[in-house]
Structure 1
Amino acid sequence: MWRGITLGLAELATEDKGGRVDPRHIPAPDNTGTETEKRFAFQAHVAVRYAIEMLGGYPVDNVTCEHIEDVVVARTVGTPHGGSTTLWDFQQVKSREHDKPWTLLQIGDSKALRSLLRTDRVLRQAFSEGSDLNYRLTVAIEGKLAAGEPSFRDIARSGGKRESRIRAGLGSKLEDLDADPGELSDFLSRVHIDELPLRGELERDNRDALAGLSEHLTVAEIRHLHQTLFDLVRSAMLEQLCPQWQLFVTQPDPAEVILRKRLTRQTLATIALRLQRPELLYFLQASRRADYQHPYGLLETSFPTRLSDVRVPQRISIAASSDTLPDTCLGQDALCMLTAGPGGGKTSLLRTIQARSAAQWLAGIETQPLALTVNAAALTPPRPLGAALASAANETLSLLGLGRTLGEEFFRTAPRPGTTWLVLIDGMDEITDPELRREVLEWIVQCADRSPAVHSFVVAGRPISDAERKLLGAVPEYRLDQFSTEDLHSAVQGWFRQLGIPRPDTSTDAFIAALSSAGMSKLARTPLMTSLLCQVYSMNPDGVIPDSRIALYSSFADLLHERMHNRGPSGFRTQSEHLTQRFGPAVAKHAESLLSELLDLIGQMAAADESRPVDPLIYIHPAKPEYLPDHSIEAWITLISRSPAGERPPGITRKVWTDFIVSALTRCGLLVREGDRLEFAHKTVQEYCAARWAMRTPHAYEQELDRTLQRWIHNGGPNPWGAPLETASYISFLIEADRSVLRDIAHRKLYDSVTRESLPCCLLVAIINRFGSLEPESWQPVIDQAIRSTTAVVEVDEDPATRVWAATILAELDEAPGLAALESLAKETTLDHGFNEDPHTPDFSDRLQAARTLMQFDTRRGADALMQLVLDDEDLDELVRVRAAEILFENSDERAEAALGMLAEDSPWYYSRFAAIKLYSKIDRHTAAEYLNRLIEDWRYDDPESCQDYAYLLVQWGDPRQLHLVED
């Protein structure tokens, strides 16, 4: 491949000792990286040479620049036993301005041997105990060795006069390194010389070798690729290489500094694709941008909403199980299903999988299938698979910068031998025609049966009927789970940053708290709902939540309505027109009328189903007292059909009209299909509609308020958490009345309820007030009464827990006195007397609870209160002190390390010291081991069994000092 260069190195491998090791953790004996790079471009060309070997399939594993030596080449070589191992070639690269031959003494003058000797010593010391490291030491010289010059091996082994003179001369150049004759001879016997072409010739050879790897590239393209490769090497020499494949490694192996210096097959993956499969490269570069556009970015912002900027990873579970799986499970079967409710994140997940798989392939990681997202509508009518995939890919990827039209053949064969295409079929439920949907499902099954080694399929959509499920056969069915609490926080924060909400971190906390207190957080636990709620929030020019929850839900419903009537190809209005227009303009107009009134019809049903109504006017059909008793689809169709807008118009068959109603209900965003049932997407959606209907008359409104408030007033005790929190959401909707006569009723009833004896009602006022639903002037007397009631409980109540809870409510109602009360309670040493007499879980400490709650409102004051608890060694249980330090650590307080260290060393009880030591190990494992050794020595005779457990943990940490306890 290169002129005059011999690549056979198998004979240089030492005996294989059972493993492959990497000298990445060895500190370099000297480091002149950046200076060397500035002075020697020749060294970069040497590294390029080995990078091209990797591209050409030679057994070069990686090339590291400026770590330990100028260039370190790792090769796979054979062993005497027929196996393979890694040979590490540590190279000192030497060049000079003239092209005269080198002598060995001149090489000695170049200081190459000095560097290699230091390297040899470091390696031998680091791997002195049965090392598996196989390495060679090389001086790579620009040009030739002078004729007749012996090798370093001959110099080391020969006793001739000339060899002895040269050996003595080389020894004098290494005199300051104190190498005795035995070490010098052993060292020289293992140093090799590589003669390299002159710099101009080496650069030309490199370009020629690169051109030999690809026949389709022009001379200009080869020059460009060579320059790209040269720039990568220079970045590695400058410790600035940032290989993208790091993003996909769950347990990074080399240290970060090595990643910035090391070229691997993954680093060169894009260059390899450009040389070998340019069509695949174009596909990957476009697919990598599949997650740029967010599917639910309904509002225009100053810049496009990118899915990758706001998406939060979701969990996948297999049907009928609680097991959580990674999304890579979607490529393990020839055919599987992925289901989720409306807005459950299916589209987001599929786009993310496609973008991630492309990024992995571009990084040289080709172990996973290569994904392509296809809309189900693009597969109608069924046609040859290659043509369908090519058409869909060209259409969608052209918007993402696809540089070349992809042909059918590209998708007929595997993207690379041993891999498969992962065809992600989105929007199956958006095919409204049942017969057409059935044809597509049957066609997918046939394709999966015909080419399981080339294509695997994921059918994504909402849960399908049993009949359609049977078409797919016995295939795995996965479901996409909703957001966890942490996921929701991350999703809202991402949206707020994208939408330009001021102080997104603080605003997210406040928004999440508002959602949670009002019972809306479950509604927001899907990507669609989160995005819509955040966008509704951002619609207000002042950047605040609308003035009532009803206004928020009304805006939310308007967005859903607008989305449903979107004129795009996947919009329901467009598809409904296609479905009904063939029956004539009268039918199409009637269908449009039903869509316009659909939200009102659903609202009437929600009101009757949510509560036991007292006003018969809320019924569409008052003769039927049980409304939607089973929420079956049949019941929904029956009741919708009783309304004028839902009555089947002449000229359309009953089946088509019924299918149209079902599609409208399932696409409106308010309902979700669960088998043969239609449920509200969330309870709060139903509560919103029910509250609106309860406001129809003052009499009905007052009776509904009485009914719902009774459980808050008579809860059986002062503890606010005995309150019926599940009804707070509905009551919040009720009191946000849009008429003054109704607001007066709500004002009077709540004022009478917020007494010292009924803390839950004070809590209810705090929940409502958190949304800004209570108008400051008219509702201030109610708030003031709640403040007086909670203040009285804090000051005079005998139960410590009740006092803390009352202070928490007070902080919600009036922050300044509430925080002062929490701060005072955290310092009150008598507050935990009951806990100290009967200690149990530290979080039950009332003082700790007061400090934690304070921290939720004011981080600094809460952290100060927790630190005071850590320092209280007289009145507080030891485990509570440790828990306080742990909370400081969890919140990244700079005092946490000192606090845990103090408890790990000075706490009087071994169990609290051990708890502190385990936490400290997350900060500094070495120091934690010292603490644990002292703990064992202090308590080994008092509790030998526990100390044996501690010794076992020390061994796991790599500290053998107490190994004898484990062995005993």
Structure 2
Amino acid sequence: MGETKPPDEGHPRSELSRRLRHAMTEKDLSQSTLAARAGISKAAVNNALNPKKGAPTPHTLGMLAKALGVTGESLHTLRSLRDRADTRTRQHSPQLHGYLDAAARAVRQHPFPGMLPGATPPLADVYVGQRLRELPSGAATSAAAEMLLWGMGNCVVESDPGGGKSTLLRTSAAKAISHLLEGRTKSVPLLVSAADLAGRSLLPEAISASVSAELSEVGLLETLPAELIRTEPYPGARWLLLVDGLDEITDPASRRRVLSKLTASADKGPFRFIVATRQLPDEEFGALDRTVVRYELQPFASRDLRQLAARWFSGLGVPDPEHAAAAFHAALARAHLDDLAHNPLMATMLCQLYAAAPGQALPTGRTEIYQRFLDLLHERQHTAGNSGIRTQTRQALERHGARALALAESMLDHLPALISHLAVERHRGGDRPTMNVLMSQPAAGCPEGIPRTVWADFLTDSLRRSGLLSLRRGELTFLHQTLLEYCAACHTEARAQLLRTIFDKGWGRPWPWTRRIWTPPGGSLRSLWRDHDDSSYLGFLLDLEAENGPDVARNLCRLATHGGLEGAAFIAEQARMGTLISEQTLQAARSTLTSLARDPRANNVHRSVAVKTLVQWGDRRALSAAAAVIADPDVDEIPGRAQALIMVSVGDADALAALAQDPTAPAFARAGAAAALSVANDRRAGATLASVIRDPVNNEAAREFAAHMLDRHRSKRSSRKKTNRARKPPRE
């Protein structure tokens, strides 16, 4: 058989090989040395350099480029040549190919706010995976990104503010594109904002408009047509809709409309969806099919946090990143930020603050982290020299005269206040164009003698350089919802007005702005939830107003003591988010929750919510409070008397096992603890349930319940094994 003919000169495969060889020559590297530096085999290097061979995988090309020092536009050219040369992507239409090329560039960017100028590591360089927990059972799963990509069903991912939802979706999109080009999957990702789907447009049209506008800034030259989205991307493939920010839609009816659209499209079209959101009322998910799985994205574990810090410090050029990460971890402990730093957004901001001033003490809470971070951004924006905004403003506007320049300088002085005004407008649901909002303010009105377009460009550039906003579809938007909330809370007049409204409420009445922790099937706790979750915004308000006097602290303590479940749950949530709460108030809230959980006269639903709140708070009294609920024979109306202890399954498994095996404990408490081990997928669950069944001291009802849970446990184990085999990715 004759030798395979190499592609023609100028063919993408030949050009890719030529460029790689040229880079090797410039670095004076042999194939063996390049293979060692790239961490791949010699055969992989030889194949990549041989134009007769198939195109290297994106992973192989990435390792080669890193070893050769190829970055920027040159790296983009290599990737484009690889994609065009890969025979596995020939079935893609030109429009789809153009979309994938632009999307791959877009998802490499980090979605978190305020990346310091000139020091923005690619997302892949600093990303650390998180874990998912299935709701409402509490069962832990495998690594989030892989599980979501290889799973076949639709799902919703929930987390606290800054919990890593956007990063997870971007990473999932990047991996899906890579797997698609390698022939390992037939899912084509479409990353869209939920707000873009909330209108009355048909879903394909809404997706087309959103994706095309979003990617135009990264080189998409041709609109991804709605007609292509209506059908399979190519034979045997389907679209993977990655929908971010459902909670950022302020109207509950609009949120439900988005979910209804997605559900109907997944039923009838070639779609699968993953929706990311903060926690929302359970009833809002009623539009979803029962097969849709809900997950909670878990905070970083300690080892993940240290790994993230080392990656960020490496990307920011900090000497000896591993040593710096260890010192950073110690600094977190000294500042009592250990728990708060497990939130991905908090960790990202803290890493940058530490890198900028390693010798400086870290902030003391969430609000101070934002204050210090925004101060750092402001300092970088107003740096001296030609790159500073003051110098560039003079260069851009001095031709319009001294008065115009003086007004521009004044606008820059008022920029933080103007951003706060814009944030208040957006937080209240206003959708006026940004330039109209700002130019209506005296400090940002267009001066005489300057064309409105020139002034608008100046305002736009100033806002973008603040590190807080970016241009999206021709409109300036805040880079993260919590940035919007913090800036809105900084608006002194709006803050004072809202807090007067809050603290004028009687503590005995329901608090409509308090988050619902859990709603049982068939039950409702609407009084614990308002239409739009403002707990994060309220946390900033409370911290900022507390600086002006003791009134906030006194009122919060009253709320923890006399506000019942709603008040204590609100205090617990604020503490988890990093709002500064006095120890006296924290102890009062814990006592209120514990007393409520143990009170047999209290509403059974509220008792279970109190237990769950203690669990989420990590309070040591959660287990004993849950046992009190389980031991009460009047708790039958809660689905399964083990409900309270099942919720504890996210906590101490050893304590659960000890309770289940304690012969002095109430029978239902033992059965519930064993059931909780099953829900947590603990290896001791089966044997523990069996021991409860065998113990003649336990009453018949408890033994029957344990037998029922043992059957479910065995069935679940069998099903999980089958699912894991089905989800196992194909070999390359």
Scaled by the length of structure 2, the TM-score of the pair is 0.51
**Does the alignment pair 1:598 with 2:415?**
yes
Give the aligned partner of residue 945 of structure 1.
Answer: none
Pick closer, same or farther for the CA change 1:903–1:275 going to 2, 3 Å. Answer: farther
Give the aligned partner of residue 884 of structure 1. Answer: 676
Rg (Cα) greater in structure: 1
Higher relative contact order (CA 8 A, sep 6+): 2
Task: Report whether the alignment pairs 1:875 with 2:668.
Answer: yes
> Offset of 1:595 from its aligned partner?
3.5
- Distance in 1 between the 2:615 and 2:359 partners? 25
| 1:64-213 correspondence runs (5 A) | none
Q: Residue 606 of structure 2 aligns with which residue? A: 802
Shift of the 304–652 alpha-carbon distance from structure 1 to 2, 3 Å rule, reads closer
Matched, 1:822 2:635: no
1:749 aligns with 2:555: yes
Counterpart pick for 2:297 among 472, 486, 491: 486
Residue 723 of structure 1 is matched in structure 2 by 528
On the 8 A contact 1:839/1:877 being kept in 2, the answer is no
What secondary structure sits across from 1:662 in the alignment?
A: helix
Find the counterpart in structure 2 of residue 432 from structure 1: none
Q: Deviation at 1:599? A: 1.8
Give the SS at the match of 2:632. Answer: helix
Alignment match, 1:270: 45
- Per the TM alignment, residue 270 of structure 1 is displaced from its structure 2 partner at its CA by 0.9
Q: Partner of 1:554 in structure 2?
A: 371
Contact (CA 8 Å) 2:169, 2:244: kept in 1 or not? no
CA distance in structure 2 between the partners assigned to 1:751 and 1:727 by the alignment: 20
Calculate percent identity across the aligned residue pairs: 21
Q: Distance in 2 between matches of 1:475 and 1:730?
A: 38
Aligned to 1:947: none
Cα distance in 2 for partners of 1:267, 1:326 equals: 31
1:895 aligned residue: 684
Instruction: Quote how far apart the aligned CAs of 1:913 are.
Output: 5.1
Structure 1: distance between partners of 2:492 and 2:64:
56
- Residues 563, 462 of structure 1: CA spacing in aligned structure 2 closer, same or farther, 3 A cutoff? farther
Deviations 1:838-892 (A, max 9, x none): 674x5x7344246336x1xx45434544x549999963798x6775233342xxx
User: Contact (CA 8 Å) 1:311, 1:348: kept in 2 or not?
Assistant: no
Q: Deviations over 1:95-118 (max 9, x none)?
A: xxxxxxxxxxxxxxxxxxxxxxxx
For the residues of structure 2 that align with 1:715 and 1:651, how far apart are their CA atoms?
50
CA–CA separation in structure 2 for the residues paired with 1:242 and 1:914: 53
Is 1:703 the counterpart of 2:482? The answer is no
Q: 2:589 aligns with which of 786, 800, 804?
A: 786
For the pair 1:861 / 2:655, whether they are aligned, the reply is yes
2:718 counterpart residue number:
921
Q: Deviations over 1:710-753 (max 9, x none)?
A: 6975569999764347343333333324676x432223323333
Q: In structure 1, what is the equivalent of residue 468 of structure 2? A: 670
The Cα of 1:790 is off from its aligned counterpart by: 3.6
Aligned-pair distance for 1:598? 1.6
Structure 1 residues 284, 571: CA separation in 2 closer, same or farther (over 3 Å shift)?
farther
Scaled by the length of structure 1, the TM-score of the pair is: 0.40
Check whether the contact 1:569–1:575 (CA below 8 A) recurs between aligned residues: yes
Structure 1 residues 685-694 or 581-590, which shifts more?
581-590
Measured on the aligned residues, the alpha-carbon RMSD in Å equals: 6.5
Q: Which residue of 1 aligns with 2:539?
A: 732
Whole-angstrom CA distance in 2 between matches of 1:812 and 1:346:
22
Q: Using the alignment, how far apart are the partners of 1:557 and 1:917 within structure 2?
A: 53
CA distance 1:570–1:284, change in 2 (3 Å): farther
Tell me which residue corresponds to 1:310: 126
The AA in structure 2 aligned to 1:535 is Q
Contact 1:904–1:917, Cα closer than 8 Å, also in 2: no
1:495 aligns with 2:301: no
Partners of 1:718 and 1:759 within 8 A in 2: no
The residue type paired with residue 875 of structure 1 is F
Matched, 1:632 2:424: no
Taking structure 1 as reference, are residues 585 and 720 closer, same or farther at Cα in structure 2, changes over 3 Å only? Answer: same
Q: Give distance in 2, aligned partners of 1:544 and 1:806.
A: 36
Deviation at 1:760, TM superposition (A): 1.8
Name the residue aligned to 1:184. none
Determine if contact 1:580/1:588 at 8 Å carries over to the other structure: yes
Distance 1:811 1:550 in 2: 24
- With 547-556 and 780-789 compared, the bigger mean Cα shift is at 780-789
Structure-2 separation of matches of 1:918 and 1:600? 59
**Post-superposition CA distance 1:304-337 (Å, at most 9, x none):** 96754422589xxxxxxxxx9989xxxxxxxxxx
Work out whether residues 312 and 487 of structure 1, in 8 Å CA contact, stay in contact via their aligned partners in 2.
Answer: no
CA pair 756-792 structure 1, distance change in 2 beyond 3 A: farther
Answer yes or no: is the 8 Å Cα contact 1:309–1:494 preserved in 2.
no
Query: Given that residues 404 and 447 in structure 2 are in contact (C-alpha distance below 8 angstroms), is that contact kept between their aligned partners in structure 1?
Result: yes
Partners of 1:795 and 1:347 lie apart in 2 by 41
Check conservation: 1:610, 1:686, Cα contact below 8 A. Answer: yes
Q: What is the aligned partner in structure 1 of residue 320 from structure 2?
A: none
The 1:876/1:693 distance shift into structure 2, 3 A limit, reads: closer
2:684, 2:172 → 1: CA distance? Answer: 44
**Closer/same/farther in 2, CA of residues 285 and 471 from structure 1, 3 Å limit:** closer
Instruction: Tell me which amino acid in the other structure corresponds to 2:606.
Output: T
Between the aligned partners of 2:172 and 2:397, the Cα distance in structure 1 is 31
CA deviation after TM superposition for structure 1 residue 657, in Å: 1.7
Does residue 831 of the first structure (1) align with residue 638 of the second (2)? no
Partner of 1:851: 648
Q: Residue 797 and residue 693 in structure 1: after superposition, are their counterparts in 2 closer, same or farther (change >3 A)? A: farther
Cα deviations by residue, 1:401-454 (Å, 9 ceiling, x for unpaired) = xxxxxxxxxxxxxxxxxxxxxxxxxxxxxxxxxxxxxxxxxxxxxxxxxxxxxx
The one-letter code of the counterpart of 2:528 is A
Question: Which structure 1 segments of 5+ residues have no match?
Answer: 1-7, 9-52, 59-213, 233-240, 246-265, 315-323, 328-342, 370-457, 612-627, 929-952, 954-968
Q: Structure 2 CA distance, aligned partners of 1:512 and 1:711?
A: 34
Q: Say which SS state the counterpart of residue 532 (structure 1) adopts.
A: helix
- Letter matched to residue 786 of structure 1: A
State the secondary structure of the residue aligned to 1:268. helix
Query: Does the aligned pair in 1 maintain the 2:631–2:669 contact within 8 Å?
Result: no
Paired position in structure 1 for 2:491: 693
CA distance in 1, matches of 2:426, 2:709: 54
Cα distance 1:459–1:801, how it changes in 2: closer, same or farther (>3 A)?
closer
8 Å contact kept, 1:549–1:773: yes
1:639 offset after TM fit, Å? 1.7
Change in 2 beyond 3 A, CA 1:656/1:882: same
Q: Which amino acid aligns with 1:861?
A: A
State the shift of 1:367 in Å.
Answer: 5.5
1:916 is displaced (CA, Å) by 2.5
8 Å contact kept, 1:869–1:881: no
Structure 1 residue 669 displacement after superposition: 4.1
Q: Is the 8 A contact 2:646 2:675 kept in 1?
A: no
CA distance in 2, matches of 1:554, 1:743: 19
The aligned residue for residue 653 of structure 1 is: 451
> What letter corresponds to residue 763 of structure 1 in structure 2?
A
Contact 1:705 1:734 in 2 (8 A): no
- State the 1:684 CA deviation: 3.9
Q: CA deviation at 1:807?
A: 5.0
> 2:367 and 2:630 mapped to 1: Cα distance?
45
Distance 1:584 1:760, change over 3 A: same
